[in-house]
Structure 1
Amino acid sequence: MIVVVLRTLILYALVIVALRMMGKREIGQLQPFELVVILMISDLAVVPSENVGIPLLSGIIPILVLLSASMTLAWISLKSERARDIICGKPSILIERGKILEDELKKNCYNLTDLLEELRLKNVPNIADVEYAILENNGQVSVIPKSQKRPAIPEDFQITPPFEGLPLALILDGKLNQRNLDKSNKDLDWLRSELQKQTILRIEDVLLASIDSSGKLFAQAKLRGSKNNHR
């Protein structure tokens, strides 16, 4: 029994390392060859973990081979545009200048119902508002609305809004993140003072506290022993 557990843990760790080396993309963002590698790696890892009679190397070696092949193809696709087109394919334009391209729909086995569904998911319920719709290699549809149907942005009104950086989490579940506090150019005394303004006396009572680029603090207390506070 212990042998089975150890074999399973070893294979599990190897699969995790392999997936990490392949990048951080979600399943829906993977290229076809990457998805095939993931499916094959999962199958190869299951067999040795279930059957003790199969040598562990019989599962490890094929996984390493697939990982090497995947990374090699990824490297080649990065270096050569032509190879990338062969390995990953090319995006397909489904709608061009407001006109549906029927041949592209048939070529990609894409029907009008699928197209309308994707447009709705992109918050474009009216197909008449679409200038371009592009079927990407990962299966997602990129939608470019017509210029008069796009949401207004500050640049349209010649407005330059102030810079907004990423907020920093200073406290998570009652634990202070000293690194982020230093990065925000604030000290512990300032943080305690701001929390007291929101009737939060202890850092341990904070569920979440974050600071934005303008120096404003958002804080919410835990439910027990302290009521929620917002700023």
Structure 2
Amino acid sequence: MIITFIRTLTLYFLVVVVMRMMGKRQIAQMQPFELVIAIMIADLAATPMENTGIPLLNGVVPIITLLSVQVIVSFISIKSEVVREIICGKPSILINRGKLVQSELRRLRINMNDLLEQLRGKDYPNLSDVEFAILETNGELSIIPKTSKRTVIVQDLNLKVQQEELPITVIVDGNLLYSNLQKTGRDEKWLHRELKKQGLESIKDTFFAFLSSEGEFFAQKKDLN
């Protein structure tokens, strides 16, 4: 039992490290070869966990090998457009200047119901509102609407706005995040003044506090129960 527990923990941490080294991507954002490697790694890790008779190295070595393959292929695909097209493929235009590209739909075996469903999922229920629809190499559908249907942005209105900043968290569950407070350019005296303005006596009484991108301070009191 202890051996199984140790083997499981070892493989778990190994797989976590390997997946982190593969990059910060969601499953839906993975390229086909990355998804295949992820599935194979999961299968290789499960086998030594289920059968203690199989040496642990029989799972560790193939996992490290697959990680090496993924890193090498990713590096080569960055340097070579040809290799990238072979490994990952290339985007496909399904709608070109408002017209369906029927040859691409047939080649990718996408029927109209599937395409319309994806368009609705992107908040474009009308096909006539779409200028371009591009199926990316990771399977995601990118939509470029017609000029008359695109969302109005600040630039369209010729307005001058202040540069947006990231909000900074300064207190989490009664604990002060000193490094974050320093990033705000404020000190603890300022923090205590702001807390008192919101009816909080101390940092320990605060569940969560942050400085918004507009420079406004927000804090919430910690529940007693």
TM-score, normalised via structure 1 length:
0.94
**Within the alignment, does 1:183 sit opposite 2:151 as a pair?**
no
Query: What is the aligned partner in structure 2 of residue 75 from structure 1?
Result: 75
Give the whole-Å Cα distance in 1 for the aligned partners of 2:213 and 2:10. 44
Query: What is the aligned partner in structure 2 of residue 229 from structure 1?
Result: none
**Secondary structure, counterpart of 2:94 in structure 1:** strand
**Secondary structure, counterpart of 1:52 in structure 2:** coil
Query: What is the aligned partner in structure 2 of residue 100 from structure 1?
Result: 100
Return the offset for 1:214: 3.6
**Secondary structure, counterpart of 2:196 in structure 1:** helix
Query: What is the aligned partner in structure 1 of residue 170 from structure 2?
Result: 170
**Within the alignment, does 1:151 sit opposite 2:151 as a pair?**
yes
Query: What is the aligned partner in structure 1 of residue 14 from structure 2?
Result: 14
Return the offset for 1:222: 2.6
Deviations 1:131-176 (A, max 9, x none): 0010011111000111111111111111121111101001112211
**Within the alignment, does 1:207 sit opposite 2:214 as a pair?**
no
Give the whole-Å Cα distance in 2 for the aligned partners of 1:45 and 1:214. 47
Query: What is the aligned partner in structure 1 of residue 29 from structure 2?
Result: 29
Give the whole-Å Cα distance in 2 for the aligned partners of 1:115 and 1:222. 48
Give the whole-Å Cα distance in 2 for the aligned partners of 1:51 and 1:184. 53
Give the whole-Å Cα distance in 1 for the aligned partners of 2:109 and 2:205. 55
Q: Once structures 1 and 2 are overlaid, which stretch shifts more, 198-207 or 41-50?
A: 198-207
Return the offset for 1:223: 3.4
Give the whole-Å Cα distance in 1 for the aligned partners of 2:47 and 2:157. 62
Unaligned runs of 5+ in 2: none
| Fraction of identical pairs, as percent | 52
Q: Once structures 1 and 2 are overlaid, which stretch shifts more, 11-20 or 30-39?
A: 11-20
For 2:27, give the aligned amino acid: I
Give the whole-Å Cα distance in 2 for the aligned partners of 1:95 and 1:64. 42
Query: What is the aligned partner in structure 1 of residue 221 from structure 2?
Result: 221
Q: Which runs of 4+ in 1 moved over 6 A?
A: none
CA RMSD of aligned residues (A): 1.2
Give the whole-Å Cα distance in 2 for the aligned partners of 1:53 and 1:104. 50
Give the whole-Å Cα distance in 1 for the aligned partners of 2:197 and 2:24. 40
Return the offset for 1:224: 3.1
**Secondary structure, counterpart of 1:18 in structure 2:** helix
Query: What is the aligned partner in structure 1 of residue 123 from structure 2?
Result: 123
Equivalent residues in 2 for 1:24-63 (5 A)?
Answer: 24-63=24-63
Return the offset for 1:60: 0.9
Give the whole-Å Cα distance in 1 for the aligned partners of 2:179 and 2:131. 46
Give the whole-Å Cα distance in 1 for the aligned partners of 2:172 and 2:116. 42
Query: What is the aligned partner in structure 2 of residue 112 from structure 1?
Result: 112
**Secondary structure, counterpart of 1:218 in structure 2:** strand
Give the whole-Å Cα distance in 1 for the aligned partners of 2:168 and 2:144. 33
Give the whole-Å Cα distance in 1 for the aligned partners of 2:38 and 2:97. 37
Query: What is the aligned partner in structure 1 of residue 136 from structure 2?
Result: 136
Give the whole-Å Cα distance in 2 for the aligned partners of 1:199 and 1:182. 23
Query: What is the aligned partner in structure 2 of residue 160 from structure 1?
Result: 160
TM-score, normalised via structure 2 length:
0.96
Return the offset for 1:14: 1.1
Return the offset for 1:122: 1.4
Give the whole-Å Cα distance in 2 for the aligned partners of 1:184 and 1:55. 52
